[in-house]
Amino acid sequence: MKSRIYYTKPSITELEVAYATDAARNGWGDCCYEYITRFEEAFKAHLGVTYAIATSSCTGALHMGLAALGVGPGDEVILADTNWIATAAPIVHLGAKPVFVDILSDSWCIDPALAAAAITPCTKAIIAVHLYGNLCEMDRLLAIGTTHGIPIIEDAAEAIGSVSDGRRAGSMGAFGSFSFHGTKTLTTGEGGMFVTNDAALYETVLTLSNHGRARGQTKQFWPDMLGFKYKMSNIQAAIGCAQMERVDELIKRKREILRYYRDRIERTPWVKMNPEQAGTVNGAWMPTAVFDAETGMTCESLQEAFVAENIDARPFFHPLSSLSMFEDQPQNRLAWGIPGRAINLPSYADLTVTELGRVSDVVHHQSRP
């Protein structure tokens, strides 16, 4: 039996263990926020933003950011139909309506033209999700936002390491959100980050993140608004601090893996992988192979082929509008068509050249017309 190749694993070293141990032993009382503060400072320095708030999840960061922007009942928020449910759920929880539009054929991210066409008087925001590390066309989206007076939000959960014309993913919109789930390039096990350059928005989200208790409030246990509890723990942040010391190494390894796959797999003209347009850097969180429709390839047959080789592979995201809690939007042709002929490939840092070759060979064997 061939050894198992998982689709993802975190990269944890003795540095993470040491920091987490220190937080568990000493990170209490007056020290209970020390690693959280360090993590926030390191992250905003890496991203080049003014403000950062460590959160319990990317979903929580999105929820608070949307709430701080005033999203509520009767509002609409535009996003790509190809996404994980976590991007849409906070919109629904706030009583607003997610409006799903189709994606671009190359990046699988939101189509700016369709986003613009979907704007109504009820539109409160547009969410740009940098899918699998692929970058949205932010210049076009930001221009649309300026024209219509609508904030552009970046869901950069999957895009640490992705850069557009010198600007890091998550740093360009009204606010950005990140995920540090155990599958992500940089992990704290669970966790996320809210980032922004807007001082007023930061203060509102900071208050919301602590049960509505404002930073300047002198009364103890006195909330100034109804808030949330989306704070990261000090122990999680300790792991994050260690990961931030290694962030360039972690991103570099992700990019090496994507480059290896692209060199091997894109030799066949009917398979495409994560793009890297001029002026951009793809953080390469999740290398993904998309087969041309003419090949007749299916996600099911691909998964069966990987299982036969004891390799984990992940299906492409289903269109959100295909889920039972939303109305079908089959006019979103690419969002509905691509998942049936696409697969996410293993990409954890410790993959060997031999293991990468095994994965590539499966794709090659399935690629023959």
Q: Which residues of 15-54 are buried (b: 16+ CB within 10 A; e: fewer)?
A: ebeebbebbeeebeeeeeebbbebbbebbbebbebebbbb
Measured in residues, the chain has a length of 369
Q: What is the predicted pLDDT for the residue at 299?
A: 92
Band (362; pLDDT cuts 50, 70, 90): very high
Q: How far is CA 29 from the centre of its chain?
A: 33
pLDDT at 291 over 70: yes
- Closest residue by Cα to residue 180 from 170, 169, 190: 190
Reported pTM = 0.96
Q: What is the predicted pLDDT for the residue at 367?
A: 64
Q: Over the chain, what is the mean pLDDT?
A: 96
Q: Which domains does the chain have, with CATH numbers?
A: 14-245 (3.40.640.10), 248-367 (3.90.1150.10)
pLDDT at 70 over 70: yes
Collect all residues with Cβ–Cβ distance below 8 Å to 332 and sequence separation of at least 6.
81, 100, 101, 102, 103, 319, 321
Q: What is the predicted pLDDT for the residue at 364?
A: 83
Q: What is the predicted pLDDT for the residue at 267?
A: 86
